[in-house]
Amino acid sequence: MNLNKVMICGRITRDPEIKALPSGIKVCTFGVASNRTWKGEDGQKKEEVEFHNVVAFGKTAETIKQWLLKGDEIYVEGRLKTSSWEAKDGSKRYKTDIMADTFQFGAKKREDGGGYSQGASREGTGSQEIASGEEEINLDDIPF
């Protein structure tokens, strides 16, 4: 049995960009940061952040571009796809993307600038809300 399934929940690290293939199908690319926190053997809080490249197609791509921005929370399900190419210096390079099948909106930013609210809806999207993870990503820690 084989399985290639990815599920991540995190914050968007850059505004989604959308392009059209020659066939007219829309393609949206964006980044997501997900984090994990734990207590180390010394009792100190430790944190690890992973950065993911995400690619969405069609109506999913259009919806993400229309409704989401850098810093918004998102839950993505999809599969991994690794591409390779030869760089100008002759070395072999690899890039792994998450090819999004489905997604859900996360907590919506509060209009008063006071952080994020849980269970807030986004009208006209048809997607359900998700609760945030154990800890939120500090946007100041994202390097771009």
* Domains parsed from the chain with CATH numbers: 6-135 (2.40.50.140)
Structure confidence at residue 103 (pLDDT): 96
pTM for the model stands at 0.72
pLDDT at 55 over 70: yes
- Give mean pLDDT, residues 134-144: 53
Arithmetic mean of pLDDT over the chain = 83
Structure confidence at residue 124 (pLDDT): 36
Residue 75 near residue 7 (C-beta atoms within 8 A): yes
Q: How confident is the model over 129-138, as pLDDT tens digits? A: 333 444 455 5
**pLDDT band with cut points at 50, 70 and 90 for residue 107:** confident
Residue 25 near residue 19 (C-beta atoms within 8 A): no
Q: How far apart are CA 31 and CA 51, in angstroms?
A: 7
Structure confidence at residue 123 (pLDDT): 37
- Comparing C-alpha atoms, which of 103, 55, 57 is closest to residue 76? 103
| Interior/surface letters 76-115, b for 16+ CB within 10 angstroms, e for the rest | bebeeeeeeeeeeeeeeeeeebbebeebebbbbbeeeeee
- Give mean pLDDT, residues 83-105: 95
